[in-house]
Amino acid sequence: MNLKIKGFQKTSLIDYPGKVCSVVFLAGCNFRCPFCQNPDIVIGYDKLKDISPEKIFDYIQKKRKWIDGVCITGGEPTIYPGLPAFMQKIKKRGFFVKLDTNGSNPRMLDYLFRNCLVDYVSMDIKAPLENYHIVAATKVKTHDIQKSIDLIMKSGLEYEFRTTVVPEFFSMKDALTIGKWLNRTKKYALQQFRPTITLDKSYQNKKPYSEKELLEFKKIMKPFFTFVEIRT
């Protein structure tokens, strides 16, 4: 399958809404968001020990009475051509699969959807489209981002869009712009920025938004979504 699995959380109650799951971390990412809180997975991951897929399959099989599914995250999982084969092996064992993605590879998403290899999708919305390259700190094909959003919304799957709100990159104006952009979608999550471990270490000195400010963002965005939540 040629996947670089560099992390495995055996049990999580928060990564797959409504289910108990294991979490698989795939190394590498095509974005370089400075506030990324998995820097060891994005860069320098060659120093981390490889985890074999078989080890994961063995674990979930033994714990199938307590585990509903597997969340595949990163990094960015869709950079791996071997992702569908990995998902297929999980699905064949009778588990649900959740995918976390930045939406940069709609071709992969389309393949996964058409082959019924994923049950829940969580896509990061970095910023309004015109600011994507600033937040991702790299060139971004924004038409791919839009195509991924369209695919997800038409997929019939459970899904959510989510944004990590960093004061430098997210404003009241941005909240309104994103709300209008994603209007009529099901679920949106405002994720609190945590200045602990970050790709750019200078962001460890940044002050997050207050709870009051997060609630203001929620108020602005609530009319555009079926459900809006704050994650701290």
Kindly report the number of other CB atoms within 10 A of residue 212's CB atom.
7
Residue-wise pLDDT for 19-63, tens only, equals 999 999 999 999 999 999 999 999 989 999 999 999 999 999 999
Number of domains in the chain: 1
For residues 44 and 145, give the distance between their C-alpha atoms in angstroms, rounded to a whole number: 26
What pLDDT does 178 receive? 98
Residue 138 forms part of a structural domain: yes
What's the rounded mean pLDDT across residues 188-193?
97
**What mean pLDDT value characterizes the chain?**
96
Residue-wise pLDDT for 19-29, tens only, equals 999 999 999 99
For residues 6 and 51, give the distance between their C-alpha atoms in angstroms, rounded to a whole number: 6
Residue 134 forms part of a structural domain: yes
Distance, CA of 100 to chain centre: 3
Helix (H) or strand (E) holding 214: helix 211-221
Residue 86 forms part of a structural domain: yes
Residue 150 forms part of a structural domain: yes
Strand 225-231 versus strand 185-192 pairing type: parallel
> Band of the pLDDT at 195, cuts 50, 70, 90?
very high
| CATH number of 120's domain | 3.20.20.70
pTM of the model: 0.96
Q: Cis omega before residue 103 (within 30°)?
A: no
- Residues spanned by the domain of 143: 5-171
Residue 51 forms part of a structural domain: yes
Statement: residue 65 has pLDDT above 80 = yes
| Residue 126 near residue 148 (C-beta atoms within 8 A) | no
Residue 62 forms part of a structural domain: yes
Residue 78 forms part of a structural domain: yes
Residue 58 forms part of a structural domain: yes
